């Protein structure tokens, strides 16, 4: 089955073909390019599944594939590194390919209901955007080196710009699209500096293998390999700097504090696009990148600590804002920020598998929740305010039950998928924190506290939307949705319920049954790649000093019970407050805190101020300076020459003949002068 690896590029190229088809021929196609997109992503999904299956069933070196496809620029004796595009298949990328192509496929199907059936115009552009988005993300996932990863990371940003701004005739979407690109571009600036630094330091950007930069870095720390470091820093410090630079891109794309501000605005895009952005593409790209180069981050306890803290803080910070939002998609947006915070916390806390696990389950349940929200939005004639809904439970049972499954997963309620992954995130952070890295306990505490808020806002959303009495006429008589909406919901609903089974670590610990399948799968990477779980575990322990404490079965159960209990507490509070026939807004009781939360801690305000309150005035001042002083001097010099004498005054007469004469004269004089002094004649 290893021949399937040769087809990996097709996984990305199929959606690229659908992009071209939709863009240039979509107008003439029956579904305006949707079918091409469905066929392409369906093909990608099948191929991805085959690839993942091959990885899972092969042994030894056959569990991965690392080849250069295309040399962008050949190195030479004086340019010691080549820039390449390549394919890296190992368990991590194989898993992510499946996730991305699955979500992308379902989003395409759902779009038939959300876009085509709703009579939207500009559909070829929409499907072209989706195709390009899938292409970029899939190519990013199997990127074999960091430059290629950066390239497709940027293309993902472009696609989000195009799709968030899809409804360009309105005022909001273009503004949100601009913000999304600009804020993430700010993060990507640091990422690009990091990429350049990695090439300058190691002479390669490869992710996997003995010649990869994570491995060279490891060797450099042991003095087995010499690398260039800069600015007078030692290896350890320089690697931390480089790691943090790359992290800038991660923080931007994965919407971590303080670059999370673009994500809530990005709700201006069509809802299926939100599903794609939040679950599988744009936002996932950041966290995936950290996982992809985990062998590098595992060398730097400082970088890991920063990742864990940003993650834990973001998880809590975003969850608190989700509590007061009134629009369905807004709640989901903040939940995304918060959930990616958990993944960052896991990565920083030494829980590589936990992070990948949560990335996978989150992809499923967040896509589900967004598509469910999309279904509700269709039903509500594009009104997103939860206070105008209520009582939709009876009217749209499929949406309700699947949405509920997604919500239970999001809140981390047993036995839904999110419970297992979030529990593992917290558990891993806890044991490493109790072990030799006590600082992680701070991140853990924030992550734990965020569980309460998550349970609360999730069920506030569910109750306000589906329970109680309909609060408007539209909610009384919602528009029905078709199979193309329900189908994807059912698939995702089932997955959100059962997906936790791929890695039930607590059960394994209790019963010693060998059921941590994801862990085993991720550990299968070819040993030469140095991307396996046990290699990372070794690095964490040896290089980062991450020792795990043994908290035993009791500790394990207590930890799980604690996070479940907190989630239930939050959900229970929401039940008390909002699961009533005619709920009222209780947020006024928060007083000034509500104002703070409604304004998102004034994060937008200061960032907008940085852009328009600071940068623009500085630019205007620069312009005034340029026009007045610099150009003034230029014009001044010409004025001086004008007054210098009658002959020279002609310089301003605008007769070119005069200039030509002047030039010739000057040339002759100069030649004569140098001729005489230089002994020319």
Partner 1 sequence: MLIEALLVATLLAAGVVFFAPDRYAGKLAAVLSLLPLVGSLWLWLDFEGSGNALLDGSEIAYETTIEWMDIGYTLQWHVGLDGVSLPLIVLTTILTTAAIVSAWTPIDERQSQFYGLVLLLEFGLLGVFAALDFFVWFVFWEVVLVPMYFLIAIWGGPRRKYAAIKFFVYTNVASLIMFVGFLTLVFAMGDSVTTLGLPEVAQALQAGGAVGSIAGFAPETVKLFAFALMFFGFAVKVPVVPVHTWLPDAHVEAPTPVSVLLAGVLLKMGTYALLRFNFTMLPDVATDYAELIAVIAVISVIYGAMLALAQQDLKRIVAYSSISSMGYVILGLVAYTTYGVGGATFQMISHGFISGLMFMVVGVIYNETHTRMVGDMSGMADRMPWTVGIFVAAAFGYMGLPLMSGFAAEVFVFLGSFDAPYLSLAPLFTAAAMFGIVIVAGYLLWAMQRTLFGEFDLGTDYEVGRAPLHDVAPLAVLLACVIVLGVNPDLFMGMIQDAINPIVNSLGGGA
State which of positions 134-163 bind partner 1 (CB under 8 A): 147, 150-152, 154-155, 158, 162
Around 422, how many Cα atoms within 13 Å sit in the side-chain half-sphere? 35
Shortest separation between residue 664's beta carbon and partner 1, angstroms: 10
Is residue 657 part of the contact set for partner 1 (CB under 8 A)?
Answer: no
* Interatomic CA distance for residues 572 and 579, integer angstroms: 10
Stretch binding partner 1 (CB under 8 A), from 185-193, 320-328, 433-441, 566-574: 185-193
279-298: contacts with partner 1 (CB under 8 A): none
Is residue 73 part of the contact set for partner 1 (CB under 8 A)?
Answer: yes
DSSP notation for 448-465: HHHHHHHHHHHHHHHHHH
Residue closer to partner 1 by CB (options 61, 671) is 671
Residue closer to partner 1 by CB (options 1, 171) is 171
- The Cα-based distances of 221 to 204, 234, 300, 544 in angstroms read 17, 9, 10, 12
With contact defined as beta carbons under 8 Å apart, do 433 and 349 qualify? yes
Residue closer to partner 1 by CB (options 79, 580) is 79
Of 3, 28, 30, 76, which lies in the binding site for partner 1, with binding defined by CB under 8 A?
Answer: 76
Of 5, 199, 521, 578, which lies in the binding site for partner 1, with binding defined by CB under 8 A?
Answer: 199
Of 226, 230, 528, 614, which lies in the binding site for partner 1, with binding defined by CB under 8 A?
Answer: 230
Tokens of 605: 């305000």
Stretch binding partner 1 (CB under 8 A), from 40-48, 540-548, 598-606, 646-654: 646-654
* Interatomic CA distance for residues 672 and 676, integer angstroms: 6
Listed in sequence order, the residues at least 6 apart from 391 whose beta carbon sits closer than 8 Å to its beta carbon are 466, 467, 468, 469, 470, 471, 475, 476
Shortest separation between residue 653's beta carbon and partner 1, angstroms: 9
Listed in sequence order, the residues at least 6 apart from 648 whose beta carbon sits closer than 8 Å to its beta carbon are 641, 642
Is residue 185 part of the contact set for partner 1 (CB under 8 A)?
Answer: yes
Of 42, 174, 487, 555, which lies in the binding site for partner 1, with binding defined by CB under 8 A?
Answer: 174
Is residue 678 part of the contact set for partner 1 (CB under 8 A)?
Answer: yes
Which DSSP state fits 203?
A: S
With contact defined as beta carbons under 8 Å apart, do 16 and 102 qualify? no
Is residue 200 part of the contact set for partner 1 (CB under 8 A)?
Answer: yes
Shortest separation between residue 611's beta carbon and partner 1, angstroms: 7
Tokens of 528: 């030469």
Shortest separation between residue 155's beta carbon and partner 1, angstroms: 6
Residue closer to partner 1 by CB (options 72, 602) is 72
81-110: contacts with partner 1 (CB under 8 A): 81, 83
* Interatomic CA distance for residues 15 and 37, integer angstroms: 6
Is residue 659 part of the contact set for partner 1 (CB under 8 A)?
Answer: yes
Shortest separation between residue 619's beta carbon and partner 1, angstroms: 4
Of 79, 584, 593, 640, which lies in the binding site for partner 1, with binding defined by CB under 8 A?
Answer: 79
Site for partner 1 (CB under 8 A): how many residues?
73
544-603: contacts with partner 1 (CB under 8 A): none
Shortest separation between residue 9's beta carbon and partner 1, angstroms: 14
Helix axes 440-466, 301-322, angle to 10 degrees: 30
Is residue 615 part of the contact set for partner 1 (CB under 8 A)?
Answer: yes
* Interatomic CA distance for residues 136 and 11, integer angstroms: 11
Shortest separation between residue 112's beta carbon and partner 1, angstroms: 23
Shortest separation between residue 289's beta carbon and partner 1, angstroms: 15
* Interatomic CA distance for residues 493 and 252, integer angstroms: 29
Stretch binding partner 1 (CB under 8 A), from 368-376, 417-425, 593-601, 660-668: 660-668
Is residue 622 part of the contact set for partner 1 (CB under 8 A)?
Answer: yes
With contact defined as beta carbons under 8 Å apart, do 69 and 13 qualify? no
Is residue 80 part of the contact set for partner 1 (CB under 8 A)?
Answer: yes
Shortest separation between residue 630's beta carbon and partner 1, angstroms: 5
Residue closer to partner 1 by CB (options 168, 602) is 168
Residue closer to partner 1 by CB (options 1, 667) is 667
DSSP notation for 575-587: HHHHSSSS----G
Of 61, 513, 618, 668, which lies in the binding site for partner 1, with binding defined by CB under 8 A?
Answer: 618
Of 619, 640, 668, 672, which lies in the binding site for partner 1, with binding defined by CB under 8 A?
Answer: 619
Is residue 31 part of the contact set for partner 1 (CB under 8 A)?
Answer: no
Shortest separation between residue 157's beta carbon and partner 1, angstroms: 9
Nearest to 600 by CA among 345, 302, 262: 262
Which DSSP state fits 440?
A: H
Shortest separation between residue 121's beta carbon and partner 1, angstroms: 11
Shortest separation between residue 39's beta carbon and partner 1, angstroms: 24
Tokens of 587: 């947020």
401 alpha-carbon distance from chain centroid: 28
Taking every pair of C-alpha atoms in the chain, what is the biggest distance, in angstroms? 107
Is residue 656 part of the contact set for partner 1 (CB under 8 A)?
Answer: yes
Is residue 613 part of the contact set for partner 1 (CB under 8 A)?
Answer: no
Stretch binding partner 1 (CB under 8 A), from 92-100, 177-185, 355-363, 423-431: 177-185
Of 61, 640, 644, 670, which lies in the binding site for partner 1, with binding defined by CB under 8 A?
Answer: 670
Residue closer to partner 1 by CB (options 258, 555) is 258
* Interatomic CA distance for residues 132 and 184, integer angstroms: 18
Of 584, 640, 644, 671, which lies in the binding site for partner 1, with binding defined by CB under 8 A?
Answer: 671
Shortest separation between residue 326's beta carbon and partner 1, angstroms: 25
With contact defined as beta carbons under 8 Å apart, do 241 and 303 qualify? no
* Residue 203 dihedral angles phi and psi, to the nearest 5°: 75, 10
Shortest separation between residue 622's beta carbon and partner 1, angstroms: 5
Is residue 227 part of the contact set for partner 1 (CB under 8 A)?
Answer: no
Residue closer to partner 1 by CB (options 85, 356) is 85
Tokens of 30: 């029956």
* Interatomic CA distance for residues 26 and 33, integer angstroms: 5
Nearest to 600 by CA among 350, 323, 307, 356: 323
Start-to-end CA distance of the chain, whole Å, equals 83
Shortest separation between residue 563's beta carbon and partner 1, angstroms: 39
The pattern of x and - marking residues 623 through 642 that bind partner 1 according to CB under 8 A reads: x--x---xx--x---x----
* Interatomic CA distance for residues 306 and 301, integer angstroms: 9
Which DSSP state fits 113?
A: I
With contact defined as beta carbons under 8 Å apart, do 556 and 240 qualify? no
Helices (H) and strands (E) in the chain, counts: 31, 2
Is residue 611 part of the contact set for partner 1 (CB under 8 A)?
Answer: yes
DSSP notation for 649-674: HGGGS--HHHHHHHHHHHHHHHHHHH
């Amino acid at each position: 089955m290893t021949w399937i690896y040769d087809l990996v590029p097709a996984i990305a190229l199929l959606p690229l073909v659908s992009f071209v088809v939709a863009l240039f021929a979509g107008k003439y196609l029956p579904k305006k390019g949707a079918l091409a997109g469905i066929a392409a992503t369906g093909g990608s999904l099948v191929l991805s599944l085959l690839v993942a299956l091959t990885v899972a069933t092969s042994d030894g070196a056959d569990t991965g594939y690392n080849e250069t496809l295309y040399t962008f620029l050949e190195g030479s004796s004086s340019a010691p590194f080549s820039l390449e595009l390549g394919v890296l298949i190992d368990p991590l990328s194989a898993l992510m390919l499946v996730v991305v192509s699955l979500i992308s496929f379902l989003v395409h199907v759902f779009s038939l209901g959300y876009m085509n059936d709703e009579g939207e115009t500009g559909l070829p552009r929409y499907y072209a955007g989706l195709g390009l988005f899938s292409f970029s993300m899939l190519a990013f996932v199997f990127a074999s080196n960091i430059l290629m990863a950066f390239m497709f990371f940027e293309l993902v940003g472009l696609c989000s710009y195009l799709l968030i701004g899809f409804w360009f005739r309105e005022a909001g979407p273009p503004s949100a699209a601009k913000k999304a690109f600009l804020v993430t571009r700010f993060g990507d600036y640091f990422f690009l500096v990091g990429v350049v630094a990695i090439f300058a330091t190691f002479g390669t950007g490869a992710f996997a293998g003995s010649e990869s930069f994570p491995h060279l870095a490891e060797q450099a720390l042991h003095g087995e390999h010499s690398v260039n470091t800069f600015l007078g820093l030692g290896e350890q410090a320089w690697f931390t700097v480089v790691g943090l630079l790359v992290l800038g891109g991660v923080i931007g794309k994965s919407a971590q504090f303080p670059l999370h501000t673009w994500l809530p605005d990005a709700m201006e895009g069509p809802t299926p696009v939100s599903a794609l952005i939040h679950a599988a593409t744009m936002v996932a790209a950041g966290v995936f990148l950290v996982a992809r180069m985990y062998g590098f981050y595992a060398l730097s306890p400082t970088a890991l600590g920063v990742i864990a803290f940003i993650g834990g803080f973001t998880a809590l910070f975003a969850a608190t804002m989700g509590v007061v939002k009134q629009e369905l998609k807004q709640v989901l947006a903040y939940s995304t920020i918060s959930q990616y915070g958990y993944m960052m916390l896991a990565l920083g806390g030494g829980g590589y598998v936990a992070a990948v696990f949560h990335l996978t389950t989150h992809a499923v349940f967040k896509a589900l929740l967004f598509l469910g929200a999309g279904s509700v939005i269709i039903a509500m004639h594009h009104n997103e305010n939860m206070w105008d809904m209520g009582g939709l439970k009876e009217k749209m049972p499929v949406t309700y039950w699947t949405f509920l499954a997604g919500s239970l997963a999001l809140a981390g309620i047993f036995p839904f998928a999110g419970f297992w992954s979030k529990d593992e995130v917290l558990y891993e952070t806890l044991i490493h924190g109790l072990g030799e890295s006590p600082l992680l306990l701070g991140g853990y505490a924030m992550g734990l506290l965020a569980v309460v808020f998550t349970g609360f806002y999730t069920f506030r959303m569910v109750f306000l939307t589906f329970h109680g009495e309909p609060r408007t006429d539209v909610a009384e008589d919602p528009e029905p949705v078709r199979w193309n909406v329900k189908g994807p919901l059912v698939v995702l609903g089932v997955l959100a319920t059962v997906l936790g089974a791929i890695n039930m670590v607590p059960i394994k610990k209790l019963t010693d049954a060998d059921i941590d399948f994801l862990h085993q799968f991720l550990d299968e990477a070819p040993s030469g790649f140095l991307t396996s779980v046990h290699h990372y575990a070794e690095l964490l322990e040896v290089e980062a000093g991450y020792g795990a404490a043994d908290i035993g079965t009791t500790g394990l159960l207590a930890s799980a019970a604690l996070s479940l209990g907190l989630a239930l507490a939050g959900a229970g509070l929401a039940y008390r407050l909002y699961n009533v026939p005619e709920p009222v807004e209780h947020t006024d009781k928060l007083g000034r805190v509500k104002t703070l939360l409604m304004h998102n801690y004034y994060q937008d305000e200061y960032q907008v101020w940085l852009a328009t309150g600071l940068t623009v005035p500085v630019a205007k001042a620069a312009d005034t300076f340029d026009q007045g002083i610099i150009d003034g001097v230029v014009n001044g010099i010409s004025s001086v020459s004008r007054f210098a004498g009658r002959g020279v005054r002609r310089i301003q007469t605008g007769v070119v003949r005069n200039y030509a004469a002047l030039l010739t004269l000057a040339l002759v004089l100069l030649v004569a002068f140098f001729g005489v002094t230089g002994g020319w004649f």
